[in-house]
Structure 1
Amino acid sequence: MVFSETANTTTKLRVVFDGGNGRPKNISLNEELASGPPLQNDLPSIITRWRCHKIAFTDDLEKMFRQVMVCDEHQKFQCILWRDDVRKNISIYKLRTVTYGTTSASYLAIRVLRQLARDENSEFPLASNIFLNDSYVDDITSGTDSITDTIELHQQLSNLSKRGGFNLRKWNSNSNELMNVIPPENRDNADAYKLKDENFVKALGLYWEISEDHLCFKLNFSFASTVTKGSMLSDAAKLFDPLGWLAPVTIVAKLCFNVCGKKILIS
């Protein structure tokens, strides 16, 4: 297993393990692991429900995978060989928690989250329903139609998360009242809910303009001097549009493709 280093807005350095890396003629760790049945909720359904709420919010579970313990007998499959100097002996470390980058990571983490929601449903019914229906891996996207209900939901979600050893952070909302009750350290940005010229946050792969409360798409086209079918296809594929809102535009690019007189079917 090898690892790489990445960073984001909340973590300066993040270690990502590559369970699919294997030496030539040898199998990788991921080839030996079962992925488990798919448990992710339907993304278009989550987005549609989210946009039906008057007061909307997003947040995520901090280091979700690392909060889930792997049973003792399986920890031996997550070993790391390490040494600081080639002249020193190799040390062996076992990763005790679910490791991002392995085939089974998503299933294990989501399965634990679902079990937590079921176990604590009697005490946190609103939050349990959100965990079961409005979560996508570690992202939670939901809302209500009144500030009273939203604050109650925020409290239940925070308490339910703590009950399982998780921490909800990176809160964003189109409601100033909700953001005022959230501790600054758990907000995505202390000023994210204030009116600004450009106030975009990512929500399930889309861009949410909070102050105006609408969704946007970020264009990242190359605009090469020579336009080819390949470059057009590449640019069209860069647009993440799970609900097909941009279909009237993107279909024009897709209809331009024709190889040897035969149409290419692009789903």
Structure 2
Amino acid sequence: MPGVCWAQSKWYIPHHGVFNPHKPKLRVVFDCAARSQGIALNDVLIPGPTLTNSLLGVLLRFRECKVALMADVEAMFYQVRVPEKDRHYLRFLWFTGGNLEKEPEEFRMKVHLFGVASSRACANSALKQTAEDGENSRNSEAVKTIQNNFYGGFNLTKWSSSDKQVIESIPKERRSKELQSLNFKEDGLPLERALGVNWSPEGDILGFSPLVREYPLTKRGFLATLSSVFDPMGLVAPVILPARLVLQESIKRVNGWDDPIPDDLLKR
């Protein structure tokens, strides 16, 4: 449970671990929407202006030139520090070594957390300000890229340049894991993910490979199936639209989200 101590102006954030089988690390999630005495930390924070670039705009600009460059600011929110006076609101309790028999230790975050209402605006502001402060006559293109082609710490852009020689010029430790042991003379470039969309570098083609899962034949299962196709550019909208019309009809005819869908709609 979250906790608050008004006399000392402190706030304690509950947290839990989330494990993704496709990623090696355990991710600690801080619940900044949790309430104590009817108040959540996010209730009293200003979200700030929307400084995140348009996802559609970033993907469209990704199609402009011949050779793509993708980059990521690792743990972007954690790269931006919180002022000393504000860290008391980012306190949390931690059982060192996972020993629940001992008293928990008290810590506080020095950096912005994912899930805090103000973090996204602060991190994006810091990124854009860093680019602006470092701009000179030789790096204007890099600054322009940072200003326009980053989305949530991830950069997509294209340069009019050579082919695999571009990747060969990048140190191995700076490449993605799929490219570190690649034999550029024999191996083809692997399939990549560009902001959630499949991208084939060899053919410069965007594609889709939705996860095939068996969902229950209910409105909830139907919606989950449709939502599994991430298509921010609307490229497969003609294929998805008929299914959305069936979902619309099922919402009109079926009461509960977990009630079975009629046979005639299932055939469609």
Describe the shift of the 1:234–1:7 C-alpha distance in structure 2 as closer, same or farther (beyond 3 A). closer
C-alpha contact 2:17 2:26 (8 A) present in aligned 1: no
- In structure 2, the partner of 1:188 is 176
- Partner of 2:39, secondary structure, is coil
Describe the shift of the 1:28–1:146 C-alpha distance in structure 2 as closer, same or farther (beyond 3 A). same
- In structure 1, the partner of 2:194 is 203
Residue 120 (structure 2) pairs with residue 106 (structure 1):
yes
Given candidates 212, 228, 232, the residue that maps to 1:238 is 228
Task: Work out the CA distance in 2 between the residues paired with 1:37 and 1:4.
Answer: 30
- In structure 2, the partner of 1:249 is 239
**TM superposition score normalised by structure 2:** 0.76
Task: Work out the CA distance in 1 between the residues paired with 2:217 and 2:105.
Answer: 53
- In structure 1, the partner of 2:51 is 39
Task: Work out the CA distance in 2 between the residues paired with 1:113 and 1:230.
Answer: 39
Percent of residue pairs identical: 28
Describe the shift of the 1:10–1:220 C-alpha distance in structure 2 as closer, same or farther (beyond 3 A). closer
User: After superposition, where does 1:1-267 map in structure 2 within 5 Å?
Assistant: 1=13, 2-6=15-19, 12-22=25-35, 26-84=38-96, 85=99, 88-122=102-136, 124-147=139-162, 175-189=163-177, 190-191=180-181, 194=184, 199-223=190-214, 227-256=217-246, 257-258=248-249, 259-260=251-252
Query: Which structure has the larger Rg over C-alpha atoms?
Result: 2
Displacement of 1:99 in angstroms is 1.6
- What whole-Å deviation, never above 9, does each CA across 1:145-187 have from its counterpart, x for those lacking one? 124xxxxxxxxxxxxxxxxxxxxxxxxxxx3111111111111
C-alpha contact 1:193 1:211 (8 A) present in aligned 2: no
Task: Work out the CA distance in 2 between the residues paired with 1:99 and 1:237.
Answer: 27
Describe the shift of the 1:94–1:242 C-alpha distance in structure 2 as closer, same or farther (beyond 3 A). same
C-alpha contact 1:30 1:102 (8 A) present in aligned 2: yes
Describe the shift of the 1:125–1:6 C-alpha distance in structure 2 as closer, same or farther (beyond 3 A). farther
The AA in structure 2 aligned to 1:252 is P
- In structure 1, the partner of 2:264 is none
- What whole-Å deviation, never above 9, does each CA across 1:116-154 have from its counterpart, x for those lacking one? 11111225211110110000011000012124xxxxxxx
C-alpha contact 2:52 2:124 (8 A) present in aligned 1: yes
User: How many aligned residue pairs are there?
Assistant: 233
- Partner of 1:115, secondary structure, is helix
C-alpha contact 1:193 1:210 (8 A) present in aligned 2: no
Displacement of 1:222 in angstroms is 2.9
Unaligned runs of 5+ in 2: 1-12, 254-268
Describe the shift of the 1:144–1:95 C-alpha distance in structure 2 as closer, same or farther (beyond 3 A). same
CA RMSD of aligned residues (A): 2.8
Task: Work out the CA distance in 2 between the residues paired with 1:137 and 1:56.
Answer: 18
**TM superposition score normalised by structure 1:** 0.77
- Partner of 1:40, secondary structure, is coil
Unaligned runs of 5+ in 1: 148-174, 262-267
Describe the shift of the 1:9–1:126 C-alpha distance in structure 2 as closer, same or farther (beyond 3 A). farther
- What whole-Å deviation, never above 9, does each CA across 1:34-59 have from its counterpart, x for those lacking one? 21111111111111111111011211
- Partner of 2:115, secondary structure, is coil
Task: Work out the CA distance in 2 between the residues paired with 1:219 and 1:86.
Answer: 41
- Partner of 1:31, secondary structure, is helix
- What whole-Å deviation, never above 9, does each CA across 1:81-102 have from its counterpart, x for those lacking one? 2344566454322211112222
Describe the shift of the 1:72–1:27 C-alpha distance in structure 2 as closer, same or farther (beyond 3 A). same
